[in-house]
Structure 1
Amino acid sequence: MASTSFQISALLLAVSGFIILLVATVSNSWKSSSSANSIITASWIYEGLWMNCAATTLGSVQCKKFYSFLSLDTYIQACRALMVTSLVLGLLGTLVTVFGLKCTQLGTTNNYTKAKIATVGGMVFILSGLSSMVAISWYASQITAQFFDSFYAGTKYELGHALYIGWAGSLLSMLGGILLICSCKGSKREKQRNYNYDSATTQRANEPFIYKKASETVTSAKDYV
């Protein structure tokens, strides 16, 4: 029962990371910049993987999609691909892990086979977290490099809150995958103990049974005299 609850907790952590990564992927706040001459004329620029937005203090927000894929920087295209890959892996890991939980009746009912399936699901979650971690860290490094480059003539941005959300989602996804793998070790040890026990029982059953006749005490007639 403890192993089952441990598996469910690990799956909830991984799924939470997957949902957070989905929010970070569609967010438009991967980087932000402020151009303010005064509080009244202040405006903020936000940019994500799919569009950029401009907001003013009056509450008006205007967003524009990136219609040209080839005109984007290489690192943005790569981050898009990595984040989409991360989401696909997260969805796949969720489906695989559901089949590997002890409390589910889907597929096989063998605990050892379910443990192997859950282990695969945990590895998929770890790959999902690593993929998004690479994308977010790469994007953040580009922002930092441009911000501190004195020769960079374009708009200098700062790290947006979507990056911090993405980092948190990546860590949760990897943590959930690691806990899933750890929860399956008990089932594998139990399988090994049962195998050793069955082997020993079979070996004893195959051994020939030797009947030993109890020795009889012979009393001569002289002993009665």
Structure 2
Amino acid sequence: MGNMVTEIVAFLLTISGWILVSSTLPTDYWKVSSVDGTVITTATFWSNLWKTCVTDSTGVSNCKDFPSMLALDAYIQVCRGLMIASVCLGFFGAILALVGMKCTRIGGSDAIKARLTVLSGFHFILCGLCCMTACSIYARRITTDFFDPLFVAQKFELGAALFIGWSGSVLCIIGGLVFFLSLSDGFSLRAEYSYRGAASFATTRHYPSKPASTLQKDTQEQRQFGRNAYV
């Protein structure tokens, strides 16, 4: 029962993290900058992995998609690939978790379910690592340009999407580790049960003992045989 509850908790953590990671990919505010006037903010610049936009004080946004994938900066291409890989890994991890959990009636025997649970935890850990790496690379570029005194172009700050991605990554990694923890508990219980079963079988296995009358008769026959051996 405790093992099943642990799997349910791990599943909730990983699914929540995967939803946050998936929502990070189309989120607008990966990096943000603003131009302030004397009274109000005159313009807000923001960008993500797919486009760059500017929003004026009236709320009207003008966006421009990145024209060519090959002309993009290398860090944006790497972040795109890592985020797409993270979403795909989380999707397959969720399917494996649904099949491998003990509270579901699909997946086959306990051994097969245990293997599927291992694969699910591994997928979610990779999902979290990919998303965390992508967000960290993007944030590294923003902070490097922001603190560079020789960088004269528009400087940006960290957007909300990065913090959402980091949160989802942590949830996915923790949930994957909890999946491994639940599996190790199941293996220890299974090993203890097999050891006890082997010990009980060894103690109960014995040869049937002969009654006392039969033993006396066999002793007398042996003595009679030894006395008449050379007659």
TM-score between the two structures when normalised by the length of structure 1: 0.88
Q: Deviation per CA, 1:147-173, whole angstroms, max 9, x where unpaired?
A: 011111221111111111111010011
CA-to-partner distance for each residue in 1:112-171, whole Å, 9 max, x for gaps?
Answer: 432232122112111110111111011101100000111112211111111111110100
Could you say which residue in structure 2 is the equivalent of 1:137? 136
Aligned residue for 1:199, secondary structure, equals: helix
- The count of residues paired between Structure 1 and Structure 2 equals 215
- Tell me whether 112-121 or 132-141 shows the greater mean CA deviation: 112-121
- Partner of 1:68, secondary structure, is coil
Deviations 1:12-70 (A, max 9, x none): 11011111011111111110111223335610011000111211221112222213101
Task: Indicate yes or no: 2:101 matched with 1:92.
Answer: no
How far residue 202 of structure 1 moved from its aligned partner, in angstroms, is 4.5
1:46 and 2:58 correspond: no
Partner of 1:121: 120
Question: SS state of the match for residue 187, structure 2?
Answer: helix
Shift of 1:74: 0.4
Report the RMSD for the aligned CA atoms in angstroms: 2.0
Distance across 2 between alignment mates of 1:175 and 1:149:
35
Name the counterpart of 1:213.
211
Partner AA of 2:4 in structure 1: T
**Moved >2 Å (runs of 4+):** 36-41, 197-205, 212-216
Q: Per-residue CA shift, 1:172-214, capped at 9, x if unaligned?
A: 1111111111111221112112222333344456x45141423
- Whole-angstrom CA distance in 2 between matches of 1:182 and 1:191: 14
1:170 matched to 2:165: no
SS in 1 for 2:18: helix
Question: Letter of the aligned partner of 1:214 in structure 2?
Answer: A
Find the structure with the greater CA-based Rg.
Answer: 2
The SS at the match of 1:188 is: helix
Q: Which residue of structure 2 lines up, in the alignment, with residue 220 of structure 1? A: none
| Partner amino acid, structure 2, of 1:170 | S
Partner SS for 2:176: helix
* CA distance, structure 2, for counterparts of residue 115 and residue 48 of structure 1: 39
- In structure 2, C-alpha distance between the alignment counterparts of 1:58 and 1:176, rounded to whole Å: 43
- Unaligned 5+ segments in structure 1 are 217-225
Letter in 2 for 1:185: S
CA contact (8 A) 2:34 2:41 kept: no
Instruction: Provide the residue aligned with 1:221 in structure 2.
Output: none
Percentage identity across aligned positions?
A: 36
For 2:112 and 2:201, the matched residues in 1 are separated by: 23
Q: Tell me, which stretches of 5 or more residues in structure 2 are unaligned?
A: 215-231
Tell me the equivalent position of 1:184: 183
CA contact (8 A) 1:43 1:57 kept: yes
Q: Tell me which moved more, 195-204 or 51-60.
A: 195-204
TM-score (norm 2): 0.86
